[in-house]
Amino acid sequence: MSDVNLYISQDIWFEILKNLPVKTLGKYRCVCKSWHSLIVSPSFMTAHLKHYTRNDANSVILYNEIVKNSESREFEQISLFRDLDMLKQGNILHTSTCPLILPRISFVGSVNGLVCVSERNYFGPKDHILIWNPIIKKSIKLPKSTFRGRYSVVGFGYDCNTNDYRVIKISHLDENTPFVEVYSVQERTWKAICAKYLVDNPITIVSFSSCFCNGVIHWHIVNEKVGMSSSNRECLLLFNVAEERFARTKLPEKIENSSGSDDFGIFEYHGMLSVSLCDYMLFDRNTSAKCQIWVKRDYNVESSWCKILNVCMYYGYTHNGPVEYLGPNKELIAFAKESTGQMVSYDPKTYKITELGLRVSETTKFSAFSESLALLDQNNYNLIVQSLIVA
């Protein structure tokens, strides 16, 4: 290999290797020292991430579920599928078990190939938070934050200016006393930031998960300010990760009665902020499920919300919690067959319903995911290479 390196420059190797998938690069780190140094360099990791997130062809579907081992112990498992066709065929790209073993886990969000999960405990402090790269099986368990409020919510984002991943935790000692802390992966510490915005604009965050889009973390909230009109009570809370600044934005005017519901989803679709709302209907003792999806055409214009999908599944179908994934052709994974509990996909163009061979569980979740080398430069290098080779 050293002879080959004499004839091919490092710059050319850079361009060649950045096109390879993450698991392959993990193995290639063992080839020679020069390749190892190249692959773990921040510039290469950034270039590789940009290449894999440039178009939808490189996107992956993340499916989260609860499974049991031989001892009947439950744990969280993530399965990755290359695309929707592979999902329909049951062709799994990669499977990984969450290192955070707790009775109830909440999926906080996914950014640049990293997944953030926390204990699912709304009325109580979230002491267990994990940032995890399921492809290379590397993770960082966050230390306990300094403030332990009565309840708290978590968000996950990325500061492209400093190349730093951040976790934000909003805790409340009581209804009127919020406390905000931010964890930096680079600095490996929690720090408190100003919570004046939340004091002046009291809210209730009604979603466990968050969405990172356009450099901003988003939560679904209800305004608790006295005198607030009912039409303006529901909106999205925004946190700009780079500027560490709160704001809020309106939801589509026609989304109603979603307060406190697990059926409201926030996600990114083709680079646009998107929201979904699912509902049940009962007619003649039969249930049907409907789902509407809106996208924000211009992120900085509140009136640019546009409905792109309105689907109703009649008789015998139920919706599968918050919708936070939409296929490239607007194909929807939102419903399950009531008789079997099997999830289905729905193509709004052909009206085709396809059973996926996957069962609904309490934490079932689909989202878009990008392969990433993030956390590859952390410790335990030998363990990581070994796990990649074995896999």
CATH of the domain at 237: 2.120.10.80
- Can you give the pLDDT at residue 203? 81
Is position 128 within any domain? yes
Is position 10 within any domain? no
Total of domains in the chain: 1
- Token pair recorded at residue 287: 């249930």
* Residue 254 CB burial class (10 angstroms; 0-12, 13-18, ≥19): exposed
- Can you give the pLDDT at residue 81? 87
- Token pair recorded at residue 266: 């926030």
- Can you give the pLDDT at residue 55? 58
Contact between 343 and 302 (Cβ < 8 Å):
no
Is position 26 within any domain? no
- Can you give the pLDDT at residue 384? 34
Contact between 266 and 275 (Cβ < 8 Å):
yes
Q: Which residues, at least 6 apart from 273, have a Cβ–Cβ distance to it below 8 Å?
A: 211, 213, 214, 218, 266, 295, 296, 299
Q: Which residue range is the domain that position 155 belongs to?
A: 41-375
- Can you give the pLDDT at residue 298? 95
Give the whole-angstrom CA distance, residue 323 versus residue 335: 9
- Can you give the pLDDT at residue 172? 82
Is position 18 within any domain? no
List per-residue pLDDT tens for the chain, 391 residues long: 555 555 678 888 888 888 888 888 888 888 888 888 888 888 888 888 888 776 555 568 888 777 766 666 677 788 888 888 888 888 888 888 888 877 677 888 889 889 998 887 666 557 789 999 988 888 999 998 887 777 788 999 999 899 899 999 998 877 678 889 999 999 999 999 998 898 888 888 777 778 999 999 999 988 766 555 555 678 899 999 999 999 999 888 767 545 444 578 899 998 899 999 887 665 555 567 788 899 999 999 988 999 999 888 777 787 777 888 888 888 988 888 877 878 888 898 898 988 888 877 666 788 888 888 888 766 543 333 333 333 3
Is position 264 within any domain? yes
Q: Which three-class secondary structure state does DSSP give residue 25? A: helix
Is position 391 within any domain? no
Is position 178 within any domain? yes
C-alpha closest to that of 294 among 317, 323, 316: 323
Q: Which three-class secondary structure state does DSSP give residue 261? A: coil
Angle among Cα 291, 316, 92 to the nearest 5 degrees reads 70
Is position 9 within any domain? no
pTM of the model: 0.85
